Each structure stands twice: as C-alpha cells, then as structure tokens.
Amino acid sequence: MRWVDIKEGFKEFLDEFKKEKTGIAGVILLIILVLVALTAPYTTIPNLPEKWRNSQYWEDNPKNVPPTWYNMFTSQKLVPQEVYYKDELKITQLNKNTTIIEVDYVLPENYYFGPQGIIVKNINVTLNSPYEVPTISVYFERPDGKTVPLLVNKQLSSSLTVAVGRDSTISSNIYIWLVNVTEGREITMFEVPLETILISDMVAPLFAKVEPGMNVDDIIENPQPLPGTYKLILKIDNPAPDENKVIYDDIKVTFLGRTYGTMGTDYLGRDIWAGLIWGSRVSLTIGILVSVLSTIIGLVYGVTSAYLGGNADEFMMRINEIFASIPSLPILILIGATAGHITLWFIVVLLVIFGWMGIARIARSMALQIKEQTYIEAAKALGAGNGRIIFKHILPQLLPYAFAVIALSVPGAVIAEASLSFLGIGDPTAVTWGQILNAAQAQAATTKGYWWWVIPPGLGIAVVGLTFVLIGTALDKILNPRLRRL
C-alpha cells in the first residue's frame, strides 16, 4: 500500500463518516469525555486519589447530603455549605486575657433545619506554661434573643475541633438548654437521655422555634425553622498571654450545609462530583486499553490459527475454547480477592486474558475466506514467509473490522471494570465509578434514597458506553466488509 492510497482511503472514509449523524454524536461525546478526564485536577480537587480514602480530609464536609441544585425542585429548601475564614470573622480583644470571636449566620425564609453542623478548627496554640492552659467557651445567640451555651471552659489545644452536631457533649448541652427553656428546670448531664443524643439530629433544634411550654421531644422530632440572623460566639480565655500564644490566622468556621456542591456528598462527606470527574479517567483508560489489547491479540491469534490450518489450527482453537468455557467473572473475583494489592494494570491484564476469545473466532472465520484468495497463493509462490503473509496480506484486510470491534467492545470492558470495583476488587489508590457504587451499596444508599450517590456513577458508565457504541455502529456501517456476513 502506498502512502497516497492510505491518504485517499482515509479521506473517503472521513467523507462517509461525516454523513453518519450517530457517529458524529459519538465523536463529540468522546472529545468532551477526554477533555473532562484530562482537566480533572484543574476543574476539581488536585490529586484526589490520594485524598479519597483519607476521612480526615473530608471532615469539613456534611455527610450524605444532596447537591445544591436540588433546592430548585423542592419547596423545603436546604441550606448550602458556608465557610468563614479569619477575614470574615469579627475578632475583638476584650482585654489582655479574653478574646471574642463572632460569626454571623443568616437562615433565610423558606429554609428548613438550618445547617447539618458547625465546625470550628485550626486555632493554633503554643503551650509554654502547661498549668495555665487557655480555655474556650462557645455560645450561640439566636434571633429570638435566647443564647445557648454549647461549650463552657474547655481546654484549648491546637488539635481541638469544636464540632456541633458530632460532639456528644455539645449535643447534651443543647438538650439541657431545651429542657431549661421549655420546662424551666435545670437538669444535669446525667439526666440527658443518651439514645436521643446519639440518634437524633441535635443541630436542627438550635435553628428551630423553642418557646416555654413546648415539648422537647416534639422539637427534636419535628423542628419548626426559625429564620433570622444567628451569632456564634467563641470566647477564649488565656490566663497567661505572655507564655501561651493563641493564634487565629488559620481559623476556619464551617456551617455544614444540608446540600453540597454539584453532586452532593457520601457517607464520609466526600465530594461525589470530584469523584465522578476523576473516575472518568479510569473508565476511559481501562475501557480503551482492554478493548484495543484484546482485539489485537484476538485478531492475530485467529488469523494465525486460520492460516496455519490443520493440527495447529485445531490445537489453537481448543485453547481458545478452554478460555471461553472458564466462567470469567467468578474467576476474576477469585483471582482479585486472593491477589492482595491490585493495580489498575493487573485489572487490565485480567480483563484482556478473558476478553480475546470471541474476536479470535470471528477473525479466524474471516481469515479462512481470505486464505483461499489467489493473491495469497501468489505470495506463497513468491516465497513469502508465514509472518509476512499474516501481517502484510491478511491482517490489513481485517483492520477496518477491527476498529469497529474495538469501539463496540469498550462498553463491555468498562462495565467489567465497574463490576469488579463494585464487588470491592479494585485498585485502592484509584477513584473509580465502580468503587463509588460499591460504597453506596455497602451503605445501603438505595434503601435510604440517596439518589445523588447512586445515579451519577452509573450514568457515567452509560455515557462512556454509549459514546463508543455510537462510534462503533457508525464505523460498522461504513467499513462493514462483505466478509462479516459470512
């Protein structure tokens, strides 16, 4: 084949491909997917796979909350995440020993529940005099004028995180305050019912109507939101300001949203949107690699088998049948489960080992037809070797078919990888759609109705699959050699 012929043939093919609407749609989708995958570190969080399993990294995120845009479809609006840094806070130095930090938070009308929690962290303390440790008190001022003491005189250290909604002491204090307001009596820490504190949402009552005469359990069960401006007050007492330094430069106050980001969060507070975008890398890479490799191996194997004929053909076809009759998914699970640490490369190799047989069979039957053509005989008569005939004369004939097969077998490979990840057999250093779904299944997300966690990864798989099916069927239509019908 001369270079000019190839150029000509390619131009002809392009002209024909442009007429296939589905093919064009597929190519556009593919370009978008590749761009999304390539720009993942810039559009979302850089180096996500390293952070994905580190639950501390996701501490500042709410858990199991839907995406922010979900508010557009409901009448019960849910607040988004809000983060305050040093510049947005009001820090007043009352005197040498006392500092007051104030945070204003507005709960607008039509919003339900208020935030999922409040987290204050990154107050740096340098301790030189251990007997005069600085202390922190946290108060919460509500629009109805009532003030809730959340935390009183707790010793302050650099590692301290005030977590309203996760800390059971704070939840108990809220309960004590609720009883105090509604019934007018003071109860102690030991009278607080532990189950209520651990199971119920104790942050919602903070942002709800609480009046004397109301029932505490009713408020916890069914809080009525109280819109207005709230104020979180941190009072820090430092008895020895010269020895013990308290620095607020890095302070971070987070009002955990009841909604989060583009795609919500999972049970660890992980940003599902970032996971989705990063997952596209794995899906595309594995899908394309597996289908390209298994198609090449299958083609070469099938053509060689057909060309050699006789006993060699019989032998090679028996091996093919042996691979085909081993049930692949169970064996893949077994190998994956016993192999210990699995890398993505290992998964590619496994999927290729169990993925080349069908193509080899079809390639063989096609090559059997080509083999009988006179030009092969001519090449043989001229003294061409087996390798030359196979690679130079038979394989190029099958190439157009190979491209269609590659495109059409990508969805299978993508689904196979996702299936393995879904069963918990995958590369622990990667973020994949299958793993996101695996976590969703393990946390029973379907039975709790966490749709934002279940639907998007599967849609991702479907979109990648559809992209290649569209391209594949278009290619098939154009390149379909007559041989394929036989």
Partner 1 sequence: MGYLKYLAFRIVNAIIVLLIVTFIISALFVKVAEESNKSKMYEELMLWERSEGAKIKQSQGLEAFEQAKAAKQASLEDKYELNVPYWQKVYNKAIRTLKLDFGTTSMPIFGTNNVSDIIKVAVPRSILLFTTATIIVIILGIFLGVRAARHAGSVFDRALSIFALVTYSLPMWWTGMMFLLIFAYKLGWFPLSSMFDPQLTGWAHIKDVIWRLALPVFTYVFVIFGGWAWTTRNIMIGTLQEDFIMAARAKGIPEHKIIYGHALRAAAPPIVTMIIFALLGSLGGAIISELVFNYPGMGRLYWVALQQNETSLLIGLTYFFTVLYLASVVLADMIYGFLDPRVKVGASARM
Residues near partner 1, by CB under 8 A: 22, 318, 321-322, 324-327, 329-331, 333-334, 337-338, 411, 415, 418-419, 422-423, 437, 440-441, 446-449, 451, 454-455, 457-458, 461-466, 468-470, 473, 485
Instruction: Please state the closest distance from residue 413 (CB atom) to partner 1, in A.
Output: 12
Is the Cβ of residue 323 or residue 391 nearer to partner 1 in the bound state? 323
Q: Write out the two tokens for 88.
A: 């947005």
The gap between the terminal CA atoms of the chain, to the nearest Å, is 26
Instruction: Please state the closest distance from residue 53 (CB atom) to partner 1, in A.
Output: 22
Cβ(63)–Cβ(272) under 8 Å?
no
- CA 427 to CA 71: how far, in whole Å? 35
Give the rounded distance of the alpha carbon of 27 from its chain centre: 25
Phi, psi of 237 (to 5 degrees): -100, 125
- CA 33 to CA 27: how far, in whole Å? 10
Helix (H, G, I), strand (E, B) or coil at 233: strand
Is the Cβ of residue 36 or residue 415 nearer to partner 1 in the bound state? 415
Q: Write out the two tokens for 284.
A: 């595309």
Helix (H, G, I), strand (E, B) or coil at 258: coil
- For residue 421, what are the CA distances in angstroms to 202, 273, 336, 442? 36, 18, 10, 12
Instruction: Please state the closest distance from residue 178 (CB atom) to partner 1, in A.
Output: 32
β-sheet bridge partners, residue 100: 92, 235
Amino acid at 313: D
Is the Cβ of residue 137 or residue 419 nearer to partner 1 in the bound state? 419
Is the Cβ of residue 198 or residue 444 nearer to partner 1 in the bound state? 444
Q: Which is it for the CA torsion 433, 439, 442, 446, positive or negative?
A: negative
Instruction: Please state the closest distance from residue 260 (CB atom) to partner 1, in A.
Output: 20
- CA 411 to CA 415: how far, in whole Å? 6
Is the Cβ of residue 78 or residue 176 nearer to partner 1 in the bound state? 78
* β strands within 40-141, DSSP E: 77-78, 82-84, 90-93, 98-107, 111-112, 117-121, 124-126, 135-141
Instruction: Please state the closest distance from residue 465 (CB atom) to partner 1, in A.
Output: 2
| Helices 395-422 & 433-442 angle (0-180, nearest 10) | 30
Is the Cβ of residue 66 or residue 134 nearer to partner 1 in the bound state? 66
Is the Cβ of residue 127 or residue 463 nearer to partner 1 in the bound state? 463
- CA 77 to CA 123: how far, in whole Å? 32
Cβ(133)–Cβ(238) under 8 Å?
no
Q: Write out the two tokens for 8.
A: 């000509």
Is the Cβ of residue 139 or residue 451 nearer to partner 1 in the bound state? 451
Give the rounded distance of the alpha carbon of 66 from its chain centre: 14
Amino acid at 380: K
Q: Write out the two tokens for 99.
A: 């500092």
Count of beta carbons in the 10 Å neighbourhood of residue 124: 13
Tokens 């507070």: give the residue.
269
Instruction: Please state the closest distance from residue 423 (CB atom) to partner 1, in A.
Output: 7
Is the Cβ of residue 148 or residue 474 nearer to partner 1 in the bound state? 474
Is the Cβ of residue 395 or residue 470 nearer to partner 1 in the bound state? 470
β-sheet bridge partners, residue 271: 265
Instruction: Please state the closest distance from residue 268 (CB atom) to partner 1, in A.
Output: 20
Q: Write out the two tokens for 193.
A: 């019912």
Instruction: Please state the closest distance from residue 352 (CB atom) to partner 1, in A.
Output: 18
Instruction: Please state the closest distance from residue 461 (CB atom) to partner 1, in A.
Output: 6
Is the Cβ of residue 199 or residue 337 nearer to partner 1 in the bound state? 337
Instruction: Please state the closest distance from residue 106 (CB atom) to partner 1, in A.
Output: 33
Is the Cβ of residue 19 or residue 388 nearer to partner 1 in the bound state? 19
Instruction: Please state the closest distance from residue 345 (CB atom) to partner 1, in A.
Output: 21
Count of beta carbons in the 10 Å neighbourhood of residue 465: 19
* 242: Cβ contacts below 8 Å, ≥ 6 apart: none
Instruction: Please state the closest distance from residue 212 (CB atom) to partner 1, in A.
Output: 40
